[in-house]
């Protein structure tokens, strides 16, 4: 188990719903505490995180906030997608309410007035990226496995993921958004999803130093170079193929490139939800034209609400998580069947209204 530093006599603790909250020295610690679910986020957890950040923003005793995950498997595997599946099947509104609070939390983290240090150790996916990669200090380890895998369940990258990936060098972010590929520490640093590499074995010592030192000084004691990644070597064909204007043309370029890795990537794409692929490319490119995370979160909220009423989201979660047959039956089953109107729905304000984080249109 990845343990938090031992508390000193002055430390204080306040229990929350699967979020452990305490202060130690100059730091406030938040630990996501659902290790059996790889700390997947629930709505109460989002509220607990937001409440802690609200309390600590103006607390002079807390100069640094540290986020970590309980257990050995990772910081956070994302949102509770089984709950989203059940809500979507029932035609409910719980998921939209969850996203409203989750996306507001993502925006708060990005604008937090104090160093927000996220330990992105192990699995960090979907909503886990949202509560970590918008922080001011993002720490990865040799065990980090980071991804936005939404297209595999008929969804679109959210939690500000299109803001982050849209600003990665070249077309690396497009590649990661469409394929859901997991990346390690070096590639997270290359794409701008992380800032520092620290060996996993040194995280407890770093946490202890953060209780008494400014974040920069504490990090300087523990950062090391990351082992080489893979994206830098793949950059040439990724940029060439993913600069195409449509998903169909991206797939054609991948198949025609003569690069074995590119051919495998085409096969990966063709197994994803065709509707989610086209909607993701549209949202990602729209996000590149926006000038704030808040505006992008508004856009993603539209896409998420549209996905909630789609066939593919329920079917994708069924295949991957509920029945686990890994054989989703997408509708339509091929890219050619996805119309412009199908994609436009992902850019349309939902019946309950927009999120309203960005400036009014």
Is 122 a residue of the active site?
A: no
From the list 25, 74, 122, 127, the catalytic residue is 127
CA of residue 234 relative to chain centroid, distance: 22
From the list 24, 80, 87, 150, the catalytic residue is 150
Q: Which residues make Cβ contacts (< 8 Å) with residue 68, sequence separation at least 6? A: 2, 4, 29, 30, 31, 32, 75, 118, 119, 121, 203, 207
User: Exposed, middle or buried, 65 (CB in 10 Å: 0-12/13-18/19+)?
Assistant: buried
Report the SS3 class of residue 108. helix
CA dist 295 and 356 (Å) reads 8
Is 150 a residue of the active site?
A: yes
For residue 66, the surrounding DSSP H or E stretch is: strand 64-69
Is 300 a residue of the active site?
A: no
From the list 24, 80, 87, 158, the catalytic residue is 158
Given CA atoms 128, 134, 135, 141 in this order, what sign does their dihedral have?
A: positive
CA dist 87 and 133 (Å) reads 27
Is 127 a residue of the active site?
A: yes
Read out DSSP for 283-350? HHHHHHT-S-HHHHHHHHHHHHHHHHTSHHHHHHHIIIIIS-------SS-SGGG--HHHHHGGGSPP
Contact assessment for residue 179 and residue 353, using Cβ atoms and an 8 Å cutoff: no
Query: Which one, of 262, 151, 150, 135, lies nearest residue 188 by Cα?
Result: 135
From the list 71, 78, 79, 161, the catalytic residue is 79
Query: Which one, of 23, 59, 64, 16, lies nearest residue 41 by Cα?
Result: 16
Which residues on neighbouring strands pair with residue 30, listed in sequence order?
21, 67
**Four-CA torsion 22, 110, 164, 102, nearest 10 degrees:** 70
Distance between the two ends of the chain, CA-based, in angstroms?
47
Active site residues: 79, 127, 150, 158
């Amino acid at each position: 188990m990845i343990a938090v530093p031992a508390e000193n006599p002055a430390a204080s603790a306040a229990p929350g719903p699967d979020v452990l909250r305490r202060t130690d020295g100059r730091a406030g610690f938040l630990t996501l505490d659902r290790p059996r679910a790889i700390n997947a986020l629930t709505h109460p957890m989002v509220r607990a995180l937001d409440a802690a950040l609200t309390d600590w923003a103006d607390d002079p005793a807390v100069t640094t906030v540290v986020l970590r995950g309980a257990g050995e498997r990772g910081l956070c595997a994302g949102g509770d997608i089984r709950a989203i599946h059940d809500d979507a099947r029932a035609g409910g509104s719980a998921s939209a309410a969850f996203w409203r609070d989750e996306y507001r939390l993502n925006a708060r983290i990005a604008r937090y007035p104090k160093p927000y240090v996220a330990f992105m150790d192990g699995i960090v996916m979907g909503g886990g990226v949202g509560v970590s990669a918008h922080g001011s200090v993002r720490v990865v380890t040799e065990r980090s496995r980071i991804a936005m895998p939404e297209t595999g369940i008929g969804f679109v990258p959210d939690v500000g993921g299109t803001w982050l990936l849209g600003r990665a060098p070249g077309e690396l972010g497009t590649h990661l958004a469409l394929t859901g590929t997991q990346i390690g520490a070096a590639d997270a640093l290359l794409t701008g999803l992380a800032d520092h590499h620290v060996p996993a074995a040194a995280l407890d010592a770093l946490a202890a130093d953060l209780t008494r030192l400014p974040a920069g000084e504490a990090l300087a004691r523990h950062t090391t170079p990351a082992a080489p990644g893979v994206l830098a070597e793949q950059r040439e064909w990724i940029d060439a193929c993913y600069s195409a204007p449509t998903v169909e043309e991206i797939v054609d370029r991948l198949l025609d490139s003569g690069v074995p890795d590119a051919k495998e990537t085409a096969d990966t794409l063709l197994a994803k939800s065709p509707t989610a692929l086209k909607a993701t490319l549209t949202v990602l490119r729209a996000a590149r034209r926006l000038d704030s995370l808040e505006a992008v979160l508004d856009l993603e909220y539209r896409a998420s609400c549209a996905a909630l009423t789609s066939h593919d989201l329920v079917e994708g979660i069924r295949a991957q998580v509920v029945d686990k047959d890994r054989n989703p039956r997408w509708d339509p089953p091929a890219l050619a069947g996805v119309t412009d109107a199908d994609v436009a729905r992902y850019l349309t304000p939902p019946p309950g209204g927009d999120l309203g984080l960005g400036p009014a249109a």
